[in-house]
Amino acid sequence: MHLKPPESTLVKRRLLNYLIAFESVLLIGLTVIAVEVRHVGEEVALGNNAKEFLLLITFPIIWLCCLSLFGAWDLKILDNHIDGYRRLLRSSFMTFLTFSSASYLFKVQISRFVILFSLVGGTLLHLGLRWIFLRVVESKLRKSQSSQKWLVITPDGLEDSAVIDFATREGAVIRFTGTSNDPKHFKPWVDEVTFQLTLGGHSRVLLANGHRLEAAQIKQLMWAVHQSGADFLVLDNLGFATSGGELTYFEGVDWVMIGTAQISDSLRVIKRLFDLVLVIPALIILMPVYFLIALMIKVESRGPLFYSQRRIGQNGLLFSFPKFRSMRPGSDAQRLEILGRPDLAMAERYRSDPRITRVGRLIRRFSLDELPQLWCVLIGTMSLVGPRPILPDELPQLGDFHFRRQIAKPGLTGIWQISGRKDTTWEERMAFDIKYVEEWSIGLDLVLIARTFKAVIIGKGAY
């Protein structure tokens, strides 16, 4: 039987084909331009150095293969942009390793200009152009799916808050229907679901809670939905997709062992090197800014330049957390009285906090009070990107699963910082932190750092 792809998938595939064609031409063009315009190194000609010439010809081919192998052109990147950037960066890194290894094995000296221009410049250009492409695609998909309808399957057809939140975010109209309670009538129920799909013009079926259905029944339902040309989504209650834990399969049985989510030692080394490469030049460049902020604080009010707190860091260990002082001296004693415990009205109390000085409001607006924490990154108690460290007083607020955020070092920026900061709820903040820990990569760190500059300029949630 012919399996008809969903209409949304066909639209995405067509747009993705444009991206593949454009990026393929771009990679070949960059290599040609790099060879033609370089002014250092030897001329590349088949007669003079056949190995060098052939290796340069294979350079864009290697890169295209890496993009394909790492899924940089998968349909998934249109729904998860950060994952798309991550795959692109992985592909570029693997291209560098493969090309360098080939150059070493065949004893071919390639001009550094060619490599830097093609690989580094090409990666940066790719990121910028892909960002533009994904924005255009997102706009087109929203227009084509402005009236999308979803059919949601829940026990007894009851409404589900997680589905409602998801549909609201995607701008979809949802309709709830119940699951089949009688195994004998399961096939007629599946036929009824597919009939509702066709009649109502639904583009997606969401199985919000499938505990009443057996695994074989879910597979049968999924196949029927796909035949109708709709997407099939299942709520991942156990968090397999995003747990970050290692899955171990056993031969001959259906059991799977889920390991603890953690950042491996090798990845920790990479993350540490990444922090040092960025923070050392940043400290040097920002020295004039440090002196200017210090002068402004001293002119406005008496008191120390820096304010230090004890915060909870990696694995629950306490560390000193410095900031430029933005409040009157002795404001700590009034924290609970003015701000209270985290709740829905916390953001409003932050906005009107009377303890903050005029200079304090200015440096908080642009997050300049956080600059002394670069020192924490240098000595290793913090990272450039990670969960924001919490106060010991906030420890009782942690839920049963929030301890997972402590796996990583706390960071200057992260998902929470670019998602509204103090305008978000406590639960949202914890969800952002756990998402970062479970999905960490160098690519994700680069994306979050880039988006931090935009968040600082906008200043949303910076009080």
Residue-wise pLDDT tens digits, 239-252 = 555 555 556 665 56
Look over the chain and give the mean of its residue pLDDT values, rounded to a whole number. 78
Q: What's the pLDDT at 386?
A: 92
Strands (E), 393-458: 411-413
Quickly tell me which residue has 């009285």 as its tokens.
337
Query: From CA 308, how far away is CA 303, in angstroms rounded?
Result: 13
Q: Which residue has the higher pLDDT, 190 or 346?
A: 190
**Stretch (H or E) spanning 103:** helix 81-105
Tens digits of residue pLDDT in 89-108: 888 888 888 877 877 777 77
State the pLDDT confidence band at 385, using cuts at 50, 70 and 90. Answer: very high
State the pLDDT confidence band at 412, using cuts at 50, 70 and 90. Answer: very high
Tens digits of residue pLDDT in 318-363: 999 999 988 877 666 666 666 666 555 555 666 667 778 888 888 8
Query: From CA 358, how far away is CA 297, in angstroms rounded?
Result: 9
Pairing type for strands 383-385 and 231-234 reads: unpaired
Domains of the chain: 7-144 (no CATH), 149-235 (3.40.50.300), 265-458 (no CATH)
Q: Which residue has the higher pLDDT, 375 or 12?
A: 375
How many CA atoms, within 13 angstroms, populate the side-chain half-sphere of residue 97?
A: 7
Q: What does the radius of gyration of the chain's CA atoms come to, in whole angstroms?
A: 27
Q: Which of 25-34, 279-288, 323-332, 393-402 has the highest mean pLDDT?
A: 279-288
